[in-house]
Amino acid sequence: ARKPAHLQQLQAVGATALALDVCKPAQVAAAAAQVRAAGQGLYGLVHNAGVGGIGLLPSWPDADVQSLFDTNVFGPHRLSNALLPLLLASRGRIVCIGSQGGSITMPFMGPYTMSKHALEAYAACLRMELAPQGVAVSIVQPGAVKTGIGDNGRVGNEARLQATPPPFDEAARAALHGLQNPMPLKAEEPESAHNRRHADPAAVAATVLQALGD
């Protein structure tokens, strides 16, 4: 984890918590060294780090797109490579947390779904390359899940929507209004793009556990 509070929560439930930002090669190397030093090997690796973001494509600066890909695509690549010797030794398993956005896209979701499409290709290629060595690779495609991804990206989302150039600015203003004035969930209505029921993270965890042990 990156945040001290999250590291403390992991330690409180008996986990060995490592400070790790997958965008920082030095931290990736240090975490891999700690796992090796523990002397217990490594059976499973779950790529759970991920960031999101919304905004029409003309509103996305290069730096924002690069930052998103650094976490969602390059992070799994560099962490897998750092831990690969241990996974090969154990004939272990790798699970990527993808998204339904790895197969579909829609306006305002371009860079995020681009990164998840890329993660699909990464996982598929990694599976083929590692299968002869006995290492299995899976990717899980959740839909909407109750996490902090929206709150974590709120400042950047609002900035992009506010800076959207014409003739796209009218649609961006409408999206910004919806972001700042969310409609309450209408339990009696069918689920739709505008009435989404977010899954509990435990449902994703159960699927990841199946992928690690099946």
Phi/psi of residue 109, nearest 5 degrees: -115, 15
Q: Residue holding tokens 């996982």? A: 123
How many residues comprise the chain? 214
112 is catalytic: yes
In this structure, is the dihedral angle defined by the CA atoms of residues 6, 10, 13 and 14, taken in order, positive or negative?
Answer: negative
Closest C-alpha to 135, from 80, 74, 57: 80
Phi-psi region of 78 (alpha: psi -120 to 50; beta: other; left: phi over 0): alpha
Q: Which helix (H) or strand (E) holds 152?
A: helix 149-152
| Candidates 112, 115, 130, 208; catalytic one | 112
Phi/psi of residue 46, nearest 5 degrees: -115, 120
Residue positions annotated with a catalytic role: 112
